[in-house]
Structure 1
Amino acid sequence: MSEISAEDRVWTIPNILSFLRLLGVPVFLWLVLGPKADGWAIALLIAAAFTDWLDGKIARAFNQTSRLGRIIDPAADKLYVFATILGLALREVIPWWLVAIILGRELFVASFAPILRKYGYRALQVHFLGKAAMANLMYAFPLLFLASHTGAWYAEFCRVVGWAFTVWGVGLYWWAGLLYVVQVRQLVGAAKAVQNTKE
């Protein structure tokens, strides 16, 4: 019974950190597209990446994992990625084809949802590679912002390192997406096996 109540907790420190990250998404977009306060936008991205790492550490160390946390933590990650690539593309820092590749992966994974629901599953478990991909992208985006400051002494270095993280991040993102195909096949196979034993 205590395990069930622990799973249903809402106001844990990791969940609060995830909520704060969610609240930061519209602020980030406003900073990028409104006053174009890149310094504050980059600081917010760094804070988001740090709290993403911190909430996972706290959840595991103090047994504060919860059902809600497993939903809002990856949701906050994805929203930051979408907000960032949108802001970077509108500011012409990154090309739109990169936006299409990242969003295409999300649509690819989302296409599994009806199949999962059909067999009684809610969502796929977040894979380690997916988290690694997000980490790479969260490193890449502040660097690409800095690289857009043409003429600055750090611009070229940030451009090279930022694109390196971007390539790794996108590659891992799609790799994790392909591994989800394997996971879906295993879940569907298990569900069909259970159905066949009942018939």
Structure 2
Amino acid sequence: MATKHSAVLTVPNALSGLRIVLVVIFCYLTLADRSFVGAFVVIAVAGITDFLDGFIARRWSQTSRLGELLDPLADRFTALAVPLVLWIAGFVPWWLVVILLVRDLVMAIALIQLRSRGQLGVPVHFLGKAATFTLLCGLPLLLFSQSTNTAALIASGLGWALTLWGAALYWWSAWVYLGQVRRIVGNSAQAVAQP
């Protein structure tokens, strides 16, 4: 049986924490240092940690309550910070940031509703992870969108394809999560109504 200590200090939790740190470094490299190649490498590593934390948690039974909170937090921070920074730096249009921000605002309202009924949240769904991963693959490639050489143009085209698909998955996963919220709220209301 895992102790409270071992449930906190796990490899997946460390990777989720590292992802948050890497995103902060990405923000600095993109906005302050204008080191776009370095920013690309850093955010690519962050994307790898996003895959590894879930894989390790499932493969070696290192799931924890902290991990259930920290991993989605790292995902949301990444999904908000990266496009926002790319917009500030001039790599993506404002409407892309709005699409992603509105989705997270909708989910935040749903989470508040759940918390008001004593629920911490909903389980992470594969679609949500796939959306974040796809965005993490596509958005960094847009760092090359202002270059005119052939490789950069290919990278930029691929980046836009992945980013738009990731945004679609992001909203699709929101629909799935909202369905889970409706079921939880409905079950809660039925339980209260029972004598």
Task: Tell me which amino acid in the other structure corresponds to 1:23.
Answer: V
Name the CA distance, whole Å, in 2 between partners of 1:56 and 1:185.
26
Name the CA distance, whole Å, in 1 between partners of 2:22 and 2:140.
15
Name the CA distance, whole Å, in 1 between partners of 2:47 and 2:174.
21
Q: Please name the residue that 1:177 is paired with.
A: 174
1:19-61 deviation line (CA, Å, top 9, x unaligned):
1111222211110001101111101111011111111111111
Q: Please name the residue that 2:160 is paired with.
A: 163
Alignment map for 1:14-93 (pairs within 5 Å):
14-93=12-91
Name the CA distance, whole Å, in 1 between partners of 2:151 and 2:64.
42
Give structure 1 stretches of 5+ with no counterpart: none
Question: TM-score under structure 1 normalisation?
Answer: 0.92
Q: Is 1:151 paired with 2:148?
A: yes
Q: Cα RMSD over matched residues?
A: 1.6
Task: Note if contact 2:50-2:133 (Cα within 8 Å) is conserved in structure 1.
Answer: no
> Deviating runs (4+, > 4 A) in structure 1?
none
Task: Tell me which amino acid in the other structure corresponds to 2:88.
Answer: L
Task: Note if contact 2:10-2:62 (Cα within 8 Å) is conserved in structure 1.
Answer: yes
Question: TM-score under structure 2 normalisation?
Answer: 0.94
Of 136, 144, 165, the match for 1:138: 136
1:49-105 deviation line (CA, Å, top 9, x unaligned):
111111111111111010111111121122122221122101111001110010000
Task: Tell me which amino acid in the other structure corresponds to 1:112.
Answer: A
Of 185, 194, 197, the match for 2:191: 194
Q: More deviation in 73-82 or 47-56?
A: 73-82
Name the CA distance, whole Å, in 2 between partners of 1:113 and 1:13.
27
Question: Shift in Å at residue 107 of structure 1?
Answer: 0.3
Name the CA distance, whole Å, in 2 between partners of 1:139 and 1:75.
19
- Identity of paired residues, percent? 39
Question: Shift in Å at residue 7 of structure 1?
Answer: 9.5
Q: More deviation in 108-117 or 11-20?
A: 108-117
Number of equivalences: 195
Give structure 2 stretches of 5+ with no counterpart: none
Q: Please name the residue that 2:10 is paired with.
A: 12
Name the CA distance, whole Å, in 2 between partners of 1:126 and 1:60.
13
Name the CA distance, whole Å, in 1 between partners of 2:126 and 2:156.
27
Task: Note if contact 1:7-1:67 (Cα within 8 Å) is conserved in structure 2.
Answer: no
Task: Note if contact 1:8-1:68 (Cα within 8 Å) is conserved in structure 2.
Answer: no
